[in-house]
Amino acid sequence: MRAAYVDASALVKLFKDEPETEALSEALGACPVWVSSELVAVEARCTARRLGGAEVLERAEDLLASLDLVGCVPEIQERAGRAFERPLRALDAIHAATILALGEELLEVVMVYDGDLRAAVEAEGMTVAAPASS
């Protein structure tokens, strides 16, 4: 079964109401398996705490429990450290390398709202979605 890759920029929209939240939730509803890099757990928890309140953190934890997390194995670390067509920050490079490691064979869709990460992954030939309200 193919999966939806959900990076931190997408995951946050699921526990913090934003204009894209409804469209993203609907799009992900068609995909029973969600996957991300294990680093998304740190990103989500830090963002939830920054946004404030135990309720936000609890929503983030519930979402994290529904994700299949991919470890930051040496091959992913090595690829993340190499140049991408669009220069990336370290965490985005790890997400990009994880997406590329999974590839189109395993990923049905890649949900990314971060512009730099999106451009880098698309330059590698992957299709990226960022559902928005119409």
Q: How far apart are CA 70 and CA 61, in angstroms?
A: 17
* Predicted local distance difference test score (pLDDT) of residue 52: 83
Please name the residues in contact with 133: beta carbons below 8 A apart, sequence gap of 6 or more. 19, 20, 22, 23
* Predicted local distance difference test score (pLDDT) of residue 123: 94
Total-model pTM = 0.93
Domain residue limits, the chain: 3-129
pLDDT exceeds 80 at position 111: yes
pLDDT exceeds 80 at position 128: yes
* Arithmetic mean of pLDDT, 48-73: 94
Whether CATH 3.40.50.1010 fits 3-129 = yes
* Predicted local distance difference test score (pLDDT) of residue 134: 60
* Average model confidence (pLDDT) across the chain: 94
Task: Tell me how far CA of residue 33 lies from CA of 5, 12, 84, 108, in angstroms.
Answer: 9, 18, 27, 10
Q: Please give the sequence-ordered ranges of beta strands (E in DSSP) within 40-126, or none if there are none.
A: 67-70, 107-111
Q: b vs e for 5-18, b when ≥16 Cβ sit within 10 Å of the residue's Cβ?
A: bbbbbbbbbbbeee
* Arithmetic mean of pLDDT, 88-110: 95
* Arithmetic mean of pLDDT, 42-57: 92
Cα-flanking dihedrals φ and ψ of residue 22, to 5°? -65, -45
User: Percent of the chain scored above 70 by pLDDT?
Assistant: 99
* Arithmetic mean of pLDDT, 15-22: 92
